[in-house]
Amino acid sequence: MLGRKRSYMPPDTPPDSTSSGTVRTATVFRLTVCFIVLVIVTFVTVEGWRAWRDYRQAFVMANDSVTNLARATAQHAEDAIRQVDVLTDALGERVEGDGLASINVPRIHALMVQQARIMPQLHGLFIYGPDGQWIVTDKAITPDQANNADRDYFIYHRTHTDRNVRIGEVVNSRSTGEPIIPVSRRLNNPDGSFAGVLLGTLRVSYFVDYYGDFKIDDKGALVLALRDGRILVRRPFSPAVTTQTLADSVIFKRYLPTSNEGVAEVKAVVDGTYRLYGYRALSSYPLVVEAGLSRESFVGPWRRDLIKTGLYLLLLVGFLTGFGFIVLGQLRQRIEMENELRQAHRTVQEMALTDSLTGLGNRRKLDMVLALEIRRAKRQGYPLALIMLDVDYFKRFNDKYGHSAGDDCLRRVADTLRKTLKRPADLAVRYGGEEFTVLLPDTSEVGAGLIAQEIVEAVRALAIEHSEHPLGIVTISGGIASCAPATGDVTPDELIKAADGFLYSAKNNGRNRWESVDTSSRVGVSRQGAQPQ
Looking at this protein, which amino acid is placed at residue 50?
Answer: R
Angle 247-249-250 (CA atoms, 0-180°, nearest 5)? 130
Long-range contacts (CB closer than 8 Å, 24 or more residues apart) made by 145-154: 146/174, 146/175, 148/174, 148/197, 148/199, 151/182, 153/182, 153/184, 153/197, 153/199, 154/128, 154/184, 154/197
Count of beta carbons in the 10 Å neighbourhood of residue 233: 25
Cα–Cα distance measured from residue 508 to residue 528, given in angstroms and rounded to the nearest whole number: 12
Cα–Cα distance measured from residue 413 to residue 411, given in angstroms and rounded to the nearest whole number: 5
Cα–Cα distance measured from residue 360 to residue 349, given in angstroms and rounded to the nearest whole number: 14
**How much of the chain is helix, strand and coil, in % rounded to 5?**
50, 20, 30
Query: Which of 78, 290, 373, 434 does the annotation list as catalytic?
Result: 434
User: Would strands 514-518 and 274-281 be described as parallel, antiparallel, or unpaired?
Assistant: unpaired
Measured CA to CA in angstroms, residue 519 lies from 438, 485, 505 at distances of: 16, 10, 15
434 is catalytic: yes
Provide CB contacts within 8 A for 171, sequence distance 6+.
151, 152, 179, 180, 182
Query: What count of Cα atoms within 13 Å lies in the side-chain half-sphere of residue 151?
Result: 30
Q: Would you please indicate which residues are annotated as catalytic (active-site) residues? A: 434
